Amino acid sequence: MTVESLLVEAKALSAAPQVACKLNRLIKKSASTDQMAEVIQFDATLTGRILQLCNTPAYRGRSEISSLHEAVTRLGSEALRRLVWQVSMGSQMSAALPAYGMEAGDIWRHSMTTAIAAEELWKLSAFEEDMNAAFTAGLLHDLGKVLINASLDSLVYEFKDYVQGEGARAHEAEKNLLGFDHGEISGRLLAQWELSEVLISAVTHHHHPEASDKKRFSSLVSLANECAHHQKDKLTRGKTPTPLAAYGPLIDELKITVMDVEKAMRLVEKRSAEVEVSMAVL
């Protein structure tokens, strides 16, 4: 198994966000509301799900949104881009990943929680990158796990045994057994989709942000990922979450405090309904 062979096998996954990629290019060109709506309207499923999500409490506002054009106008280009990526990838990331011990819905729930944590942490510090970039990076950071799980075949049990026997984390097992980790695969896939360099770098290096040329933003995504794992462990019987203070280097890089992170995580917990709504819609 190589990085290149995995990307060749990614056709089904890489076909999913075609509309999201087109929308991304339009937004870069400062396209009009009509142009953005036109790209989306020919995908009936995507249109329906966007309208459905737009009418949840998280997006709706004071009145019901009844048309795609109205949704595009009210959301604005950046929120629309975020929502289209969310809808586009939800169905692709809802399956179980047995190699990682993840049941159906687990990877999507983790990705959405990471995206929300990235938003809340972003609010605590100053970044060149906007908040929607933080959300998108959090949402897409673990795509590589989907591809690796689908291609492990006979290595599934060896992979699981290695993780359990060595007590290694998934990205460490990947590196030792495969020679690369899911961050690298995720980043390469984002590059195929022609997403921004900052997203590619942050996703690629979310387990080793010190190697990124966008170290602070990569540290943001890395800390958001750890916070999402922390929250899941809090809710899992028999699990003891790693204290947030253990992520001191990441916290220091963002120039915030452990108390700031704890406050952000309380807000993430309050927003957990957004995750469940996204799963119900997708």
Q: What percent of the chain has pLDDT over 70?
A: 86
CATH, domain range 3-13+94-281: 1.10.3210.10
CA-CA distances (angstroms) from residue 116 to 38, 111, 122, 131, 232? 28, 9, 10, 10, 14
**pLDDT for residue 1:** 66
Average pLDDT over residues 113-124: 94
pLDDT of amino acid 256: 95
> What is the reported pLDDT for 14?
53
pLDDT band per the 50, 70, 90 thresholds, residue 258:
very high
**Distance between CA atoms of 205 and 6, rounded to whole angstroms?**
18
- pLDDT tens-place string over residues 238-251: 788 888 899 999 99
123 falls in which pLDDT band (50, 70, 90)? Answer: very high
For the chain, where are the alpha helices, taking DSSP H only? 3-8, 11-15, 18-28, 33-41, 44-54, 68-75, 77-90, 106-122, 131-140, 143-151, 155-166, 170-178, 182-192, 197-204, 215-235, 248-253, 258-270, 272-281
Task: Render pLDDT for 262-278 as a digit per residue (tens, 0 to 9).
Answer: 999 999 988 877 777 66
d(CA 134, CA 144): 18
- pLDDT digits 0-9 by tens, 139-193: 999 998 988 887 776 666 677 776 665 556 778 878 877 888 899 999 998 888 8
Q: How high is the pLDDT of residue 132?
A: 84
pLDDT at 216: 94
* 11 band by pLDDT with thresholds 50, 70 and 90: low
Question: Rounded mean pLDDT of 56-83?
Answer: 77
Instruction: Give the pLDDT of residue 262.
Output: 94
What confidence tens digit (pLDDT) does each residue in 191-240 have? 888 888 999 999 999 999 999 999 999 999 999 999 999 998 888 877 88
- Mean pLDDT, the chain, rounded, equals 83
DSSP string, 80-98: HHHHHHHHHHHGGG-S-BG
Give the model's pLDDT for residue 273.
74
Residue 247's pLDDT is 94
Q: Which of 250, 252, 143 is nearest to 199 (CA)?
A: 143
Residue found under tokens 């060896």: 158
